[in-house]
Structure 1
Amino acid sequence: MHLHPHCPNRTRRGSTLLIVLGLGAVALMVFAGTVRWTAGTAHITDQSVRHSVTLAAAEAATEKVLAEIGQDFSKQGAGVVNSKLPTYRGRVPRPQEHPHWGRFRFSNGRGNQDETRLEIVAPWTNGTPLISQYQGLKGYAATFRVTSQARDLEAGRTLLGAVQQEVQLALIPIYQFAIFYNLNLEVNPGPDMTVGGRVHANANIYTQPQARLTFEGDVTSTGEIIAGKHPLDPLYRSGGTVRFNGEYDSGVTSLNLPIGTANTPEAVRQIVEIPPNNESPNSDLGRQRFFNNADLVIVVTDSSVSVRGGGVGNGNGPNLSWGSVSNFVRLDRTLFDKREQKTIKLTEVDVAGLVAWNAAGNNALRNALGRSIHSVYIADQRSRNATTGTAVRLVNGAVLPPLGLTVATPNPIYVQGHYNATGAAVGTTNTAGTKPAAIVADAINILSGNWQDTNSTRGLASRSASHTTVNAAFLAGIVETGNGYYSGGVENFPRFLENWSSRTFTYNGSMIVLYRSQYATAPWRGTGTGPDIYNAPNRNWYFDRNFMDPARLPPLTPSVRAMIRGQWRMLPPNT
């Protein structure tokens, strides 16, 4: 028997070869799998990227439609949007706009090529609750749904992306805001101040209080909300705090009146001016002018007084004689305005006399209207110069006509004594018995029941105020911060000419600033005996929540337009 001797090294070499061959086979399989996985992943990634690009194209199509709707609605209103629905549906991105769009074919997702689907899913309804950042407000609103489907022509017929968006178009009565500014909004009170309703500015909001400033409602700004003063404000304040108990958002969309142009302060100012002869009352701006919409129109010049009915057929109401209104309109009163340093010629309206005239059975204007008179437009165009101005004054206004009263003028206005406030409600926040009321002017001045024209040239000690209550929305201009002066802020938006120390001005309403003052242009110069203009009252100010009820808004309330974003979603193809 032959025995082979044991050789361990040779055995190890054979085992190693088998292992290497085995590992090589495994490596080849792993490599092959990796190649297949990489190719598959690359394909999936490419498809995912292409799908994302296709979705972006579909979204761009919806945005193109929404941009045009938003522009038309902001400048011209709901009627134009409703009339252009077929036009909007034909809007899709096209290669003529950019070569990139030639890569896609757009449809409405239901078979119609080169078309965007546009539906009204909630019709125009008054008092509709608003959504998103405007929750809590109500307006005349409708909800639109826009859908687009895009196909990537480079990826074949199977790669589709569909996007759907909803927006709410809303006309928001402007007096639903406690404070609304079309300019920079400054609020820098000395004592504690609480703002009880919504606040909005189509610019920046500046806050530098000396005490506690509290916003109870939501605050929005198209610019920034800044914890500090306006850069041109020369005053310095410290020690105050600002508290937001609601939401506060900057960079929101501007809220505009549909006047047909950009809402610059100069353009918006035109709503209180007399229109030129060649302007149609049915134009975008014409429909917003108080002159065209007021029930009673009075224009005073150096040589005549024009009195006519408005509000009937776009201002073509009955012509009235001066004698028909002379029982409650006077032109022979003057006062001296210490802030303006001018003698002011007044067109004075005795509101109690207006109420009595309105109630008369033989009132031709009331009979033509078929209802109670609720609005008056007055323009005092008598000569003005460096020492003389013109204005309107309202007196004896504790009781208003049955449907309420809006008084509008391009002039400054003075409100003397209690207005829309009687009995136990005077000095309180109880507005249950008030009438809807608004005062629209170049600037708004509050005179107490103690005011005497004969004392208007005297020192502050001779012009002591009494407690006074006014319940009305205020819409007027301001003198902006600049040239070494502070605007006075919201806290001095109503102007004063008396010593209000230890006296209270109670106000329930809404404060709206849409433009700069054009006639009452003297800057705010502070309080005390130095300027000798006024001492500040105790401010008992509240937002009148009656204005949240559409039935209790003042006559001729302007409405701002908003396009409010709602749902955004991807859809399965062809849905």
Structure 2
Amino acid sequence: MSDRRMSNAITRPRRGMALEVVLLMLVMFSVIVLAGLSAVTTISRTSNADYHGARATYAAEGGADDVMSQLDAAMQDGIISGEDLANIQSPVVSGYRMTQATRTTGVPVSRTITSGPFSGLYSLNQPIDIEVTARDTSGNRATAVLSVNAQTIPLFQFGVFYEGDLEIHPGATMNFAGWVHTNGNLYLSSDDVRFQSNLTTPDSVFWQRKDSNNRLYGVHINNAAGTAVALRFDSRSLSDPLFKTRSQQDFDGRLMSRAHGVKPLKLPLPSNTPAVTLVEPRVAGDNSMVQDVKMAWKADWHITLDASVFTAYTAADSNTMKANFCTFLTQERSAGLALPSAAMCARIFKPRLDAFYEGREDNRVGSTLAIIRPDLIDIHLDTLRLWSDSAPAARAPRIIYINVINDNVADTRRDFVAVRLRQGAQLPRSRVAADTGGLTIATARPVYVLGNFNTIVWRPAAIIADAITFLSQPPNPNMDARTSWPSATRCTGSSAGWCDVNQQAADMNTARSTNVNAAILAGHSATPNDFMRVGGSQPYGGGLENFPRFLENWSGATHHYTGSLVSMFTSRYALGLWGSGVGGQYYSPPTRQWSFDVNFRFPERLPPGTPSVGTVLQTAFRPLY
């Protein structure tokens, strides 16, 4: 064989082997490409699944927030009921089928609030779980669980509670111990006012008066260490985040506004039902929710006064009028409780026609001087106590409600019908010896409190009315003793202390220092417009310092008050604005020693029928996988 043939024989196999290698490489490359494509597809599918899963999670979380807002709206009436939970609507999110299950977990428990703006108060707590599931059309699904706490808070554990704007501008020094809350704006300006506890509003804090362009530099708020720190900022000067930071820096967060997530606290009433409903008379059509709030339905002693008694007799305060007064009263008691006899009724309840000059109310007749004198139903609490204490199990009252009918609305000067509480230094015992007991007196009319109230043996007490005026301690040296009181308090002479006969013209009776221990819930006189919004000075409603009203010259006298100051509405019968009586000089202010009654920090020591308000607080959030 020649060398060429040998060479060709050797070369041909090598060429075939190269082809095989190329083919093998092509196959391997194809496998790599396919694997890469598969990986890309897998990654794409995984990313797509993660994307859609994340969207479903966000939808579930958003749905939980929607249900939370529905609960929050339901709680605006102060309570969460089974009906509220049944009426929760499943949230709507485009592209998802949403389902929700909202349910209570356990029974309501009374305990101290430990988180949120109202931390430190106590409430009836109802834990609730909100479970929301979101599913899209591709089968992606996510579930979120939101845990919330529905808190029902008794009103009288606040030192001050206002439904509308709250103005605090005392001229005289004022120190106040107790939580201050308003559902409106908070206006603070004074030469010397000091707050020893928290101040909260779901709206704004203004370091200025509402009625004029005036700011004073004596507002102080205690920090957590009890050190008084001057207020030097408000909701106008700082944005919400900066307001929150500055409040923490200056007061340890004890001044809280919308910046802190504070929410309004509302009575448990149907939507668009005004808070003044709480004091209104019974109406046959009142539903169960309204009945649970109205003091007239809560009362175990319901009294209806026919005001025509004040025009039925020509001789004012005649013995005949007094003897027949109880025939103008319709009295009802619940659960078989006893009513006083006719003779005892005449000793407990007495009429007082044109009782005294009411300087604050003179503004209702303009510039014409007219003597405004209220017609009163005087309730002699010492006589009531002696009658009740002789058989407390059958007689002791807890809530007394006084309704007034047939007053002459065309002649409000003559028929300014009101209630006066007198000789109330010691209140009736409870029906059960082991019970703290207590007494709440309520009416839609103005109330006057004469002399010391609830000062001998402390009991939970409340006065709920259209307006509340404190009349000073009469001049009798032992006035707390029943036998020392003169008839109708018509004491004579120039001694200091309240006397009806000395308050019969446009001058001021000289007051004596007086002590009152009771929660009060009443209407107030509001400054009609906000200076900052409308410009120009506005008539001042009187603010917190004049919420309990006065009619005397209190210069040199001290008004000691311990309780809870609550206003849920503006007055509808006692319409006189602060400082608007004849010449604006119908009283001079006392030294105000006012403080919160720390007894009200315990549920068992609250006055009978204490109203409650509510809010909802988120406590936890978790996704379910």
User: What's the CA shift for 1:47?
Assistant: 5.9
RMSD: 3.1
Alpha-carbon spacing, 1:194–1:40, altered in 2? closer, same or farther (3 Å): farther
For 2:562 and 2:384, how far apart are their aligned partners in 1? 23
Q: Does 1:290 align with 2:315?
A: no
Q: What residue ranges of structure 1 are gaps of 5+ in the alignment?
A: 1-34, 95-99, 107-113, 423-432
User: What's the CA shift for 1:221?
Assistant: 1.3
8 Å CA contact 1:122, 1:143 repeated in 2: yes
8 Å CA contact 2:78, 2:614 repeated in 1: no
Selected match of 1:239 from 217, 225, 233: 217
For 1:323 and 1:271, how far apart are their aligned partners in 2? 32
Q: Report what 2:19 is aligned to.
A: none
8 Å CA contact 2:208, 2:214 repeated in 1: no
For 1:175 and 1:521, how far apart are their aligned partners in 2? 25
User: What's the CA shift for 1:258?
Assistant: 1.2
Q: Report what 1:506 is aligned to.
A: 560
For 2:183 and 2:110, how far apart are their aligned partners in 1? 24
- Give, as a single letter, the amino acid of the residue that structure 2 aligns with 1:60: G
Alpha-carbon spacing, 1:372–1:142, altered in 2? closer, same or farther (3 Å): same
Selected match of 1:552 from 605, 610, 619: 605
User: What's the CA shift for 1:217?
Assistant: 2.3
8 Å CA contact 1:180, 1:199 repeated in 2: yes
Matches within 5 A, 1:441-456: 441-449=465-473, 450-456=497-503
User: What's the CA shift for 1:414?
Assistant: 0.6
8 Å CA contact 2:174, 2:593 repeated in 1: no
Alpha-carbon spacing, 1:339–1:62, altered in 2? closer, same or farther (3 Å): same
User: What's the CA shift for 1:376?
Assistant: 1.1
Q: Does 1:383 align with 2:408?
A: yes
TM normalised by structure 2 equals: 0.72
8 Å CA contact 1:478, 1:517 repeated in 2: yes
Alpha-carbon spacing, 1:332–1:86, altered in 2? closer, same or farther (3 Å): closer
8 Å CA contact 2:197, 2:221 repeated in 1: no
- Give, as a single letter, the amino acid of the residue that structure 1 aligns with 2:454: N
Q: Report what 1:224 is aligned to.
A: 204
8 Å CA contact 1:297, 1:308 repeated in 2: yes
For 1:387 and 1:235, how far apart are their aligned partners in 2? 35
For 2:400 and 2:332, how far apart are their aligned partners in 1? 9
- Give, as a single letter, the amino acid of the residue that structure 1 aligns with 2:424: G
For 1:166 and 1:139, how far apart are their aligned partners in 2? 17
8 Å CA contact 1:347, 1:380 repeated in 2: no
User: What's the CA shift for 1:358?
Assistant: 1.0
Alpha-carbon spacing, 1:411–1:322, altered in 2? closer, same or farther (3 Å): farther
Alpha-carbon spacing, 1:143–1:451, altered in 2? closer, same or farther (3 Å): same
Matched pairs, number: 491
Q: Report what 2:420 is aligned to.
A: 393
8 Å CA contact 1:73, 1:561 repeated in 2: yes
For 1:488 and 1:74, how far apart are their aligned partners in 2? 28
Q: What percent of counterpart residues are identical?
A: 29
For 2:585 and 2:400, how far apart are their aligned partners in 1? 33
For 2:46 and 2:175, how far apart are their aligned partners in 1? 58
For 2:199 and 2:301, how far apart are their aligned partners in 1? 36
- Give, as a single letter, the amino acid of the residue that structure 1 aligns with 2:161: F
- Give the match's secondary structure for 2:361: coil
Alpha-carbon spacing, 1:70–1:537, altered in 2? closer, same or farther (3 Å): same
Q: Report what 2:587 is aligned to.
A: 534
Alpha-carbon spacing, 1:468–1:53, altered in 2? closer, same or farther (3 Å): same
Q: Report what 1:359 is aligned to.
A: 389
User: What's the CA shift for 1:440?
Assistant: 0.6
For 2:404 and 2:85, how far apart are their aligned partners in 1? 44
Alpha-carbon spacing, 1:144–1:540, altered in 2? closer, same or farther (3 Å): same
Selected match of 1:482 from 506, 525, 528: 528
Q: Report what 1:374 is aligned to.
A: 398
Q: Report what 1:26 is aligned to.
A: none
Selected match of 1:468 from 503, 508, 514: 514
For 1:141 and 1:543, how far apart are their aligned partners in 2? 23
User: What's the CA shift for 1:323?
Assistant: 4.0
Residues 76-125 of structure 1: per-residue CA shift (max 9 Å, x gap): 734xx22565664xx4334xxxxx53x2244xxxxxxx4x2434334212
- Give the match's secondary structure for 2:424: coil
Q: Does 1:332 align with 2:352?
A: yes
For 1:250 and 1:48, how far apart are their aligned partners in 2? 40
8 Å CA contact 1:343, 1:387 repeated in 2: yes
- Give the match's secondary structure for 1:153: coil
Q: Report what 1:178 is aligned to.
A: 159
Greater CA deviation, 133-142 or 348-357?
133-142
Greater CA deviation, 469-478 or 135-144?
135-144
- Give the match's secondary structure for 2:385: helix
Q: Does 1:299 align with 2:304?
A: yes
- Give the match's secondary structure for 1:357: helix
Matches within 5 A, 1:396-435: 396-402=423-429, 403-422=437-456, 433-435=457-459
User: What's the CA shift for 1:174?
Assistant: 0.4
- Give the match's secondary structure for 1:287: helix
User: What's the CA shift for 1:186?
Assistant: 0.6
For 2:46 and 2:358, how far apart are their aligned partners in 1? 78
8 Å CA contact 2:207, 2:215 repeated in 1: no
- Give, as a single letter, the amino acid of the residue that structure 2 aligns with 1:214: R
Selected match of 1:274 from 264, 277, 281: 281
Alpha-carbon spacing, 1:310–1:465, altered in 2? closer, same or farther (3 Å): same
Structure with more strand by fraction: 1
User: What's the CA shift for 1:189?
Assistant: 1.7
Alpha-carbon spacing, 1:179–1:534, altered in 2? closer, same or farther (3 Å): same
Selected match of 2:615 from 562, 568, 571: 562
8 Å CA contact 1:338, 1:457 repeated in 2: no
- Give, as a single letter, the amino acid of the residue that structure 2 aligns with 1:293: K
Alpha-carbon spacing, 1:285–1:317, altered in 2? closer, same or farther (3 Å): farther
- Give, as a single letter, the amino acid of the residue that structure 1 aligns with 2:196: E
For 2:358 and 2:44, how far apart are their aligned partners in 1? 80
8 Å CA contact 2:333, 2:339 repeated in 1: no
User: What's the CA shift for 1:241?
Assistant: 3.1
- Give, as a single letter, the amino acid of the residue that structure 2 aligns with 1:440: I
